[in-house]
Amino acid sequence: MSTLVSNRSGLGSDDIGGLLLSIVAINLIGSSGVVFTSPGSAWFQSLTLPWFYPPSVLFGIVWTALFTLMGIALYLVYRTPDSKARTNALALFGIQMVVNVAWSPTFFTLERPDIALGVIVVLFGLIVGTIRWFRVVDRRAALLLVPYLLWVGFATLLTASIWYLNAPF
């Protein structure tokens, strides 16, 4: 896949509204999973967590930063000229956001780390695909998603460890 060249290489003052809208929208959509997140629940408190499980406060900070980067990346892709690559990139971004939000209710509400592990593995693959398509449209947008991929890789390890440490085998 080759990189498309955008007519506009930088962000100008006319981009501020769209950029802010994109950042806020992605933070709202992404944080919607918080409704299902209950680390204080009796079920979660009963779990054996891996030694490398970070402090709970870190999750909100990291996800806010990641959703902000994702909002910027989304806007960079959205503002490029219409193309098949742009359409594919935006569609894949939307799909991965749905899967991202699905992880919390799967893990916390259903109390199923095993299924949540499957969800996050799918999410990881979708992020890799999204980065590839974003790179075709705007290399900067692809690079902005790399911290997200790294964090989801870490979250995959956490989910797998929690499942393994608490599996009934």
Hunting for tokens 């692809």 — which residue is that? 142
Q: What is the mean predicted confidence (pLDDT) over 101-119?
A: 97
Q: Which pLDDT tens digit goes with each residue over 25-73?
A: 999 999 998 888 888 899 999 999 999 999 999 999 999 999 999 999 9
pTM, two decimal places: 0.91
Six-digit token pair at 28? Answer: 């709202």
Domains of the chain: 14-166 (1.20.1260.100)
End-to-end CA distance of the chain: 45
pLDDT at 8: 54
Of 36-40, 112-116, 164-168, the least confident:
36-40
Cβ contacts of 128-131, under 8 Å, gap ≥ 24: 129/92, 129/96, 130/89, 130/92, 130/93, 130/96
d(CA 62, CA 99): 18
